[in-house]
Each structure stands twice: as structure tokens, then as C-alpha cells.
Amino acid sequence: DWCQSNSSLNNYKTNIHFLFINSIFFSFLVQTGVVMENYGTAWREHRRFALMTLRNFGLGKKSMEERIHEEIQHTVKTLENSIGTTLNPQIMFHNAASNIICQVLYGKRFEYNDEMIKVIIKCFTDNAKMTNGPWAMIYDSLPMVRNLPLPFRKAFKNYEIALDIMKKHKETKVSGEPRDFVDCYLDELEKKNADMSFSEDRLAGYSLDLYFAGTDSISNTLLTGFLYLMGHPHIQERSQQEIDLVLEGKDRVSFEDRNNMPYMQAVIHEIQRFANIVPLSVFHATMKDTELMGYSIPKGTMVIQNMRSVLMEEGQWKFPHEFNPENFLDEKGEFVKPEAFMPFSAGMCLSKGLLVIVISNSQPCSSR
């Protein structure tokens, strides 16, 4: 039954043991894009390609930071133009995060009232809701219902929208002169050999993966962060004092300034801990019969990581159930990162670096 074929990881020690000691025995469940691709040649090829290409287009570099600063200015204008009116911050953050990702994927940013960005955001956010809801599990667990007119069919329609965007982008591409991530992928397609796993269908799924990983994580973390900062004005005040002290008249913060801002570092990480944007992480499955901390797990068992239990675990945090930056500060007030801090699960995450850069550059400077 379901209980026999599914396992849950509910604490830091178990998650670490699973993710590292037994990582060779586990795979992703569903073959769509790359995030849900089975561990193997295709997954390794695409991960390697993504890391190299994203770095070439600025991830972790000054060029990416400049794009973020520019987008933040558009966000500030949106706020200024909304004075005296109501504003949906979720849409605002989604627009900003979406444009940052779109510049990497498609080499273009959109005005917030552009119909295309509205279509893109709706397409990807609908898929995100579907992926994180019960219909995704029904689709995975009951193959006989996959062709029925159920809500998850909408995800396939959205996939077709992504595929159409790829095809239109291809029409303006110049071979050997990549403008963005999609162009680089298409260049790989032109020189691929029979053993490579690259294809236009997979590119559409990959763009969905990267868009969702970047946009959803950034926008939801920012939304959570501003919500909790509004409820903790003393944390806002202390953060502002540190920012003003470190910047000394500069009009904006840089990613490098973080090393001189231990309290802001703590605030950002506490926001990520409390936001808990992927509470069950990505579902995995055992590739073969294995053993986890004395328990026998048969091949094909779905394994679900309970990241909330890790990020709120008693004994791992000074204030596990309280929004408190002191969770990341030592006795001297220096920033420290506990081993149990894994908001994106363990290991390297493609969107993690981008998220940290965005949050770091979203800190306000004093208007004095």
C-alpha cells in the first residue's frame, strides 16, 4: 500500500544520511525537464551545461548584480507610483524575479504591463501550484488517470506555451552568437551527437524548471521576508543601522558588502529559514534496495524529505519556532551558519546563488 511504498525523512540527521551517504541509491521520480529527471547521464549533462552557461551569463558576477540593481529600480518606481493605492506585493515580486530570470533565459526584460510577461508568469505559476499540490501526486501514483480531463492536464497546456516561446525565440537566433541560455542550448542541439540527451522538448521543460526555481523561490522569500520584517520593527531598525554604518553614504549595497554585515546576513538567512519555500523538497525514489539508519527500503520507494522539521528542529536552533536572527549569530555577534540550515535541501542548488544576490541587493539604504 501507499504507506509501505513511501518514506518520509523528518530530521536533520536522517536527511543528511539520506542525501549524502546513500545518494548513489536514489533518483528523481518523474522525467520532465531536469528537476524531476532520473539521476543518470541526461541529468548530469544538463546540470553541467546549466552551471557553465549560467556562470557565463553572469551568475555570481558583477553583470548579474547590475541586472538586479536595474530591476530593483523598476520595483521602487512601482512602489512610488502606488502610493495611496492598494498593491499586491506578490505580483510585484513575481514581476521583478521573472524579469531577472527572463533576461538570463531569453535575453530580454519586459515592462510590468506587458501581456507577454503576464502570460509567462501565469503559465509558470499555474504549473508551480500544480506541481506542489495533490494532483501531481495523483498523476505520479495513478497512471490510469493521466489522460482524463483532470486539473493536471492544464500543466501540459502550459508546457505547450513554453514550447511555443522556444520556437519563436529560435526564429531570431544567429548560430554561434548566443544571446542567452536558450540560444546556448540550441547551439548545443546543432552540434549534438547521437548519445547526447539534448532536445527541443527537453529545453521547454528545462526552461520551466529554471524559471520556476528562480522566480518562485525569489518572490516567495521576499514576500515572506517583508511580511515578518513589518511585524518586527526592532529588527528593521537594527538592520538599517548596520546598513548605514557599512555603506557610509553609498546609495546602494553590493553583494560583497555582506561580509561586513553580520546582522543583515543573519536576517537574510532567518528569512530563508522561516520562508521554508520547499517544505517537502523534491521527491526522490530509491534506485535499488538500500538501508537507511537500520531500515530496509525497497527499490522504487518514494522518499519525501520534511525540510520543515529540519529548519524548526529542537536542538538545532536557539529559537526554532521564533523569527529571530540570533539563530545565525554567535556570542560575539558574528554570523554563523548552522549545519541544519538547508532551505534548498542539501547539496548545490542552481537558484540559491541568485536568490542570495537578489535578497542582498533588496536591502534599503537610508533616505537621510
CATH number for 10: 1.10.630.10
**Is position 10 within any domain?**
yes
Q: In this predicted model, what pLDDT tens digit does every residue of 332-347 receive, in sequence order?
A: 999 999 988 887 655 4
pTM of the model: 0.76
Helix (H, G, I), strand (E, B) or coil at 295: strand
Q: Tell me, yes or no, whether 161 lies in a domain.
A: yes
Asked if residue 1 belongs to a domain, the reply is: no
**Cβ(285)–Cβ(300) below 8 Å:** yes
pLDDT digits (tens, 9 = 90+) for 119-165: 777 776 676 666 666 666 676 667 777 677 776 666 666 667 777 87
State mean pLDDT over 207-211.
79
- Per-residue pLDDT tens over the stretch 21-73: 333 333 333 344 555 566 677 778 888 888 888 778 766 566 778 888 888 88
Residue 368 lies in a domain: no
pLDDT score at 334: 95
pLDDT tens per residue across span 39-52: 677 778 888 888 88
Q: Does residue 212 sit within a domain? A: yes
Q: What is the pLDDT of residues 217-237, one digit of tens each?
A: 888 888 889 999 999 999 999
Give the separation between CA 264 and CA 246, rounded to whole angstroms: 11
In a domain, 171, yes or no: yes
A 10 A CB-CB count for 352 gives 15
Q: For the chain, what is the radius of gyration of the CA atoms?
A: 21
The closest alpha carbon to 6, from 310, 306, 293, 276, belongs to 306
Structural domain total, the chain:
1
Whether the per-residue pLDDT at 94 is higher than 70: the answer is yes
Specify the pLDDT at position 188: 84
60 alpha-carbon distance from chain centroid? 15
pLDDT band at 352 (very low <50, low <70, confident <90, very high): low
Residue 201: inside a domain, yes or no?
yes
Q: Domain range spanning residue 67?
A: 6-361
Residue 367 lies in a domain: no
